[in-house]
Amino acid sequence: MTTVEQDTHTARALQGLEDSRSSVRLRAALAIGSSPEARTVEKLVERCALEPEFFVREMLTWALTRHAASVTVPRLVAELRSGRAQARSQALHTLSKIGERKAWPAITRALLYDRDEEVARSAWRAAAALVPEGEEPELAGALAAQLGRGGRETQLSLSRAMITLGEAALPVLHAAMTDLDPRVRHHAVATERLLRDPDAGFESAIEEAKRVAALQDQPGGA
């Protein structure tokens, strides 16, 4: 493909990202990722913040992972300061897929505790993926502060992030098992069980945690 042909191909693909049809946007993201060029990164990141379809966002993320981390990571880190929740969430998701540990300092407590649950969940996953060796206990402590938050999917996301940290998560989980809030206690017990037995289902782990808590709350309980 000549330079002129490549320029035409890229311009057509970038234009396709704005099409009203999700199938066209999907093909455009695929085309850009198949022939990565640094000049397309800005448009890909911008589209991530606006794209309504999950499967298209996933293709946009894939396209970004096809580019050099030296180009994508600084732009994605800048996106973490966006006032748009989807922009922050998708940037975190993409950073976790790229796996560049230089992005670690950008995963702030503010993102881990973001009021938007999708942002917080993406931050938990990214933090667990990017945490430097030796900093797992501190991250586990930060994540433990979110135990009991949200519904099933949010709690499962947090459990998975803490399980990724392995043994480093155990001390804070054990401490949370005595929390005054029953939601925190149940979530901590369920997460600890999943860490010991990854094949256990989250629902059964939660139910087991409630059963154990009920027995402990009885007079003379353990």
Query: Do 163 and 205 lie in a common domain?
Result: yes
Q: Which residue range forms the structural domain that includes residue 151?
A: 133-222
124, 158: one domain: no
CA distance 122 to 126: 6
**Tens of pLDDT along 85-102?**
999 999 999 999 999 999
Q: What is the pTM of this model?
A: 0.88
What does the pLDDT read at residue 222? 45
Residue 162 and residue 53 share a domain: no
Q: Which residue do the tokens 């991250």 mark?
A: 139
Question: How many domains, the chain?
Answer: 2
At 9 the pLDDT is 78
Q: What count of other Cβ atoms lies within 10 Å of the Cβ of residue 174?
A: 12
> Are 89 and 187 contained in the same domain?
no
18 and 123 inside one domain: yes
**Residue 101 maps to a domain:** yes
* CB of 95 closer than 8 Å to CB of 72: no
Contact 128, 139 (CB under 8 A): yes
Residue pair 57/24 in contact by the 8 Å Cβ criterion: no
Q: What is the mean pLDDT of the chain?
A: 91
Residues 204 and 162 in one domain: yes
Mean pLDDT of 128-133: 96
64 found inside a domain: yes
Rg of the chain over Cα atoms, rounded to whole angstroms, equals 21
Residues 27 and 113 in one domain: yes
Pair (174, 208) in one structural domain: yes
| CATH code, 32 | 1.25.10.10
b/e sequence 15-34, b meaning 16+ C-beta within 10 Å = ebbeeeeeeebbbbbbbbbe
Identify which of 67, 53, 118, 58 has the alpha carbon closest to the alpha carbon of residue 88. Answer: 118
